């Protein structure tokens, strides 16, 4: 049997349907390059539906999602984020040629992804408290649950024969992303999830052994 992270890149969406949860968790990988092949809407809807089953504070589901499959909105997003990234890299004192190279690669990564999901934090339905500490904790819970929702999507995508990549760039320019996509002011973009069919198997980084990660086990 082929290892979980070596499935053929041209596999049909049902090719991983027989995998158990452990195999899906271990098989999921972060992909940057995709085949020029659209993702069926029904698969995207299954991925988004999986997000709704993530745990969330008070069951409020403090997340919303923008989905991009057409070239025009992807281009607007890539251009807007690229301009902001160029500005930030220049502030860091990086060489102009390196800045343009990194901007071009990011630009291509967005444009060539068959589908993109922008997970946004939505805090309007959360509880409000009279003190700052508990309000901060409420927001932290919402951010944690957003991460759970994204993980659900990535695992579902892999189980459906897709691959994904988690880009955190919107955290550094949420206003830029929101403006480019004309999002409601109550939505704060937190990530950019690319989805599609992998063009090649990515190199996977090794995971730390359990003994390094568990600091106490009584």
CATH of the domain spanning 37-68+115-198? 3.40.109.10
Cα–Cα distance for residue pair 169/205, rounded to 1 Å:
20
pLDDT of residue 99: 80
Per-residue pLDDT of 134-149, as tens digits, reads 999 999 999 999 999 9
pLDDT of residue 64: 98
Those residues with Cβ within 8 angstroms of residue 67's Cβ, 6 or more apart along the chain or in another chain: 44, 48, 115, 116, 117, 118
Residue 37 pLDDT greater than 70, yes or no: yes
Cα–Cα distance for residue pair 43/45, rounded to 1 Å:
5
Q: Where are the domains of the chain?
A: 37-68+115-198
If pLDDT is split at 50, 70 and 90, which confidence band does 151 have?
very high
């Amino acid at each position: 049997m082929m290892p979980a992270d070596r499935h053929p890149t041209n596999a049909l969406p049902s090719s991983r349907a027989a995998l158990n949860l452990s195999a899906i968790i271990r098989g999921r990988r972060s992909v940057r390059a995709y085949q020029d092949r659209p993702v069926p809407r029904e698969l995207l809807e299954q991925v988004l539906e999986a997000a709704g089953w993530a745990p969330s504070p008070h069951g409020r589901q403090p997340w919303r999602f923008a989905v991009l499959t057409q070239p025009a909105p992807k281009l607007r997003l890539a251009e807007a984020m690229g301009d902001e990234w160029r500005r930030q890299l220049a502030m860091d004192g990086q060489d102009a040629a390196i800045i343009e190279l990194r901007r071009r690669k990011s630009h291509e990564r967005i444009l060539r992804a068959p589908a993109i999901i922008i997970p946004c934090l939505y805090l309007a339905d959360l509880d409000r408290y009279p003190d700052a500490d508990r309000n901060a904790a409420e927001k932290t819970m919402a951010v944690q649950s957003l991460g759970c929702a994204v993980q659900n999507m990535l695992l579902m995508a892999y189980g459906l024969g897709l691959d994904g990549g988690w880009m955190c760039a919107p955290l550094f320019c949420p206003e830029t992303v929101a403006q480019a996509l004309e999002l409601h002011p109550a939505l704060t973009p937190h990530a950019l999830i690319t989805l599609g069919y992998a063009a090649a198997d990515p190199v996977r980084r090794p995971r730390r052994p359990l003994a390094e990660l568990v600091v106490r086990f009584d």
